Amino acid sequence: MRVLVTGGAGFIGAHVVELLMAAGHDVVAFDVLHPAAHRGLPDAPPEVDVPLVRGDVRDPEAVAAALRGVDVVAHQAAKVGMGADLADLPDYVGRNDLGTAVLLAEMARAGLRRLVLASSMVVYGEGAYTCPVHGAVRPAPRTVDDLAAGRFEPTCPRCAAPLLPGLVDEDAPLEPRSVYAATKLAQEHLTAAWAGTVGANAVALRYHNVYGPRMPRDTPYSGVAAIFRSALERGVAPRVFEDGGQRRDFVHVRDVAMANAAALDATGGPTAGFRAYNIASGQPHTVGELATALATACGGPPPVLTGEFRAGDVRHVVASPERARRELGFNATVGFEEGIAAFAHAPLRV
């Protein structure tokens, strides 16, 4: 089938392109090559001989042209990360939400009814928690005063007792706590509305912390794994915010590409509608463990716990990948130790 991959020259998008091409699909990559993600990158996805349409998803004419002859779309294009400050807010909304709206409108006009959306675990806000007294609860956002005092763990909103973090599934409440998170949730809502209106089959993949070869180097939009790698390449100890105890699920980009392939196949099924899936390894680790594993594999200095924090960061988000396993047949194959050992010496983007 002919697949359009928006953001096809990006970190995740290029890996999706590679995997789909290896599977024999006809692939077109569509990418604006934004300098924040593509500093020094040539006008083609790395190591991939594939047509690259340079264009902006906010441009209806460019999108309409890219969609000609396409059977299904993998929508990876987005501005990612926490950003530098709130001055980034209009650009996040424009690139993520307006861009998605333009894509959906042009897909409707072209009669295309199959879409895989790159979403994110950030739509959940905090993960799942249980109070020993009150059961499942949703903690309030952490206050600056608590964070500054080193009180990093959320507490029960009813009795202030310490909470036990658990696995978040796709039916958990959605409560974005950053600008980026709000735009990702808006993308999901737009996609669900489009699917319901036109009778399309749409899948949202809620990526957890993706890492792997060709991550962008240390920028305000980089993932934490790339930030730590960049520091270690300079011979500098990774600086770990808070106390390093934040729990995440680090999933390798090769597995994320496999999840996209499975989801693209699933959109060919007879049932129309919108469905979300956690894309995660099922092996939670703390940010401190990530930093330590990378430092060891790189032979660099051990990480430093700084106690610093960022407003909008959440404490624990650990996923249940069960729905993706059951319905998409997706299982992550790259273990944490294996993946981090390889990532320690993998190429990064300039």
Catalytic residues: 180
Burial degree of 135 (CB within 10 A; 0-12, 13-18, 19+): exposed
Q: Is 137 helix (H, G, I), strand (E, B) or coil?
A: strand
Are 215 and 226 in contact by the 8 Å Cβ rule? The answer is yes
- Cα separation, 82 vs 16, whole angstroms: 23
Structure tokens at 45: 């996805």
Burial degree of 98 (CB within 10 A; 0-12, 13-18, 19+): middle
Closest to 168 (Cα-Cα) out of 61, 87, 277 = 277
- Cα separation, 98 vs 29, whole angstroms: 19
Q: Is 303 helix (H, G, I), strand (E, B) or coil?
A: coil
Of how many residues is the chain composed? 350
Are 205 and 117 in contact by the 8 Å Cβ rule? The answer is yes
Are 94 and 82 in contact by the 8 Å Cβ rule? The answer is no
Are 53 and 62 in contact by the 8 Å Cβ rule? The answer is yes
